[in-house]
Amino acid sequence: MYIPDPRYLNPGDNSWQLTAATFVGLQSVPGLAILYGGIVKKKWAINSAMMVVYAFAIVIVSWVLFGFSMGFGSPLHLGPGILGAIVGIPHPVLSQLYQQGQASVPLLQGAMPAFKFPESSLIYFQFVFAAITPAILAGGVLGRMNFKAWMIFVPVWSTLVYSVNAFMLWGGGWLAQLGAVDFSGGYVIHVAAGISGFVAAAVVGPRIAKDRKDFNPNNLLLALAGAGILWLGWNGFNGGDPYFANADAAAAVLNTNIATAVALVSWLIMDMSFIKKPSMVGAINGMVCGLVAITPAAGYVNGYGAIAIGVAAGVIPWLSMNRLGATKLFRKVDDTLGVFHTHFVAGAVGGLLTGVFADPTMLEYLGVKGPGSAVTGLLYGNPHQLLVQFEALVVIVIYDGLMTWGILKAISLIVPLRESQPRLEEGDMAIHGEVSMEPESADDEEWEPKTAESY
């Protein structure tokens, strides 16, 4: 029996939106899960991967119950002015899956066309973005955070931080009204995860001394496989955010790969110039920084802008990690995987450079280009765009940093934020009752796992 599509639905747009969302989902599971599982010390492989898997699962539950409506729904009027434009009214969205997806905000200065896919596609697409953000944040606290505390932290942080960020920039809120733009999450996702991960690392405290001294990857090729899934999955990350299978989606995908390749090469050049060796970990860092930096700009810049952002993403976070990271403050805060440098710094660089390189001839909606539907950067005669990009960055940093601190302090009144000392010594077997791979002999592993019953 043939069931016709609703008149509004475009099968091409709907198919691409669902495909792009699945690409982004693969970035978390298995992408980040195996990247983290491979790049950490062996005794933390299972715990690190589990933090990602749990975040992916719990976020979709909170997302459909209240998170999506808080990020993309009708404004919750908390008061006059700014207070009326920071978050949406929370409510479940499980009964509106088949209606037409709504653009809750004129994305730019002109009105955004109606979506050609159902609300369920939009909810799912936005979910995978919400899910990967706390998974990235986890990189700052790997190797010591109490898993029970993590289970509480993720849905609370996603609700009070991520959904608010999404509304302010993507849902028609305060920052969007100022004119700030974030094509696919440089601020909403990466700056948020980077600053929150750094604050969380400071609040939870450092790893035990021997882990800080020796935390070499247990399987670098596995980590590379996870990183590769991130790279190709990013085609959905940035390619899905025009919300139509149009020319801007194709440009965003190409720009993503150009900037990432340039950033990876730039990072390797920095490694070879100053450390004298091309490092695989360095290549992964450079790749991630390129992906992060192009994210806020992907559909707004042309190919030359993508190259410039790629160079900046390879050099500036490298200097941040290898120079700023050696200062007293950054030695004191144990940011396990350096998410401050690879996500906060890279996201900030990309967001600010969007205000420089945004090309008004790039963005296309249903063939409409030019004034009133475009974002124009400093290089094309609009210095105001760089100003509002900076203002948005400051707001995200202050709000997210303070909220993350407050959430963790509140959770600490319920459960400890850190695992106990015996569990920190033992790792996966003590916490999860399993290990990623049994050693072939006593010489293959520095620790001997106890049985789960011992705990």
CATH of the domain at 257: 1.10.3430.10
Instruction: Write out 73-120 in H/E/C secondary structure.
Output: CCECCCCCHHHHHCCECCCCCCCCCCCECCCCCCCCCCCCCCCCCEHH
In-domain check, residue 108: no
Round the CA-based radius of gyration of the chain to a whole number and report it. 22
Tell me, yes or no, whether 231 lies in a domain. yes
- pLDDT for 83 equals 67
Helix-helix angle 119-137:147-157, to 10 degrees: 140
Tokens of 266: 């730039």
* 93 inside domain: no
State pTM to two decimals.
Answer: 0.92
Distance, CA of 363 to CA of 393 (rounded, Å): 22
Question: Has residue 252 been placed in a domain?
Answer: yes
Confidence label for 9 from pLDDT (cuts 50, 70 and 90): confident
**pLDDT reported for residue 372:** 42
Taking a C-beta distance cutoff of 8 angstroms, is the pair 287, 345 a contact?
no
Measure Cα distances from 21 to 57, 124, 135, 238, 239 in Å.
Answer: 15, 7, 16, 10, 10
Omega cis (within 30) before 30: yes
SS3 at position 281: helix
Does residue 363 have a pLDDT over 80?
no
Identify whether the C-beta of residue 205 lies closer than 8 Å to the C-beta of residue 418: yes
Tell me the percentage of the chain whose pLDDT exceeds 70. Answer: 89
Rounded CA gap, 42 and 446, in Å? 10
Confidence of residue 4 (pLDDT cuts 50, 70, 90): low
In a domain, residue 413? The reply is: yes
Farthest-apart Cα atoms in the chain, separation = 69
The two tokens of residue 154 are 């993720």
- Residue 197 near residue 139 (C-beta atoms within 8 A): yes
* Residue range 125-132: mean pLDDT, rounded: 97
Residue 89 resides in a domain: no
Q: Which residue carries 């459909």 as its tokens?
A: 64
352, 308 in Cβ contact below 8 A?
A: no
Q: pLDDT band for 115, please (50, 70, 90 cuts).
A: confident
pLDDT of residue 6: 76
Q: What is the pLDDT of residue 112?
A: 65
Residues 28, 29, 32, CA angle at the centre, nearest 5°? 50
| Total count of domains within the chain | 1
Query: Is 97 inside a domain boundary?
Result: no
Which residues form the domain of 238? 12-75+114-438
Structure tokens at 220: 């670098």
Q: How many residues does the chain have?
A: 455
CA-CA distance, 35 to 181, in Å (whole number)?
Answer: 30
Would residue 87 be called left, alpha or beta, if left means φ above 0 and alpha means ψ between -120 and 50 degrees? beta
Task: Tell me if 80 is assigned to some domain.
Answer: no
**With pLDDT > 90 as the criterion, what percentage of the chain qualifies?**
77
Query: Both ends of the chain: CA-CA distance in Å?
Result: 58
Residue type, 445: E
